[in-house]
Amino acid sequence: MSSDSQSSFVEATISSPAASLSDVDSLPSSPTTSSVDSSSDDDDGEETDAEREWKESLQQLELLLTMVVVPYVGKYFGRKCAYWGWAKFMQWKYPVEIVVTNEKMFKGAGAVEAAASL
- pLDDT tens for the chain, 118 residues long, are 555 555 566 565 655 555 556 666 666 666 555 555 555 555 556 779 999 999 999 999 999 999 989 998 998 899 889 988 988 888 888 887 777 788 888 778 777 777 776 6
What pLDDT is stored for residue 54 in this prediction? 94
- Torsion sign across C-alpha atoms 56, 59, 65, 68: negative
What pLDDT is stored for residue 97 in this prediction? 75
The alpha helices in the chain, defined as continuous H runs, are 2-8, 17-25, 35-42, 49-64, 70-93, 103-116
Q: Contact 100/106 with Cβ under 8 angstroms?
A: yes
Dist. CA 114–CA 74, nearest whole Å = 9
Q: Which residues contact 79 (CB under 8 A, 6 or more apart)?
A: 110, 113, 114
Q: Which residues contact 90 (CB under 8 A, 6 or more apart)?
A: 96, 98
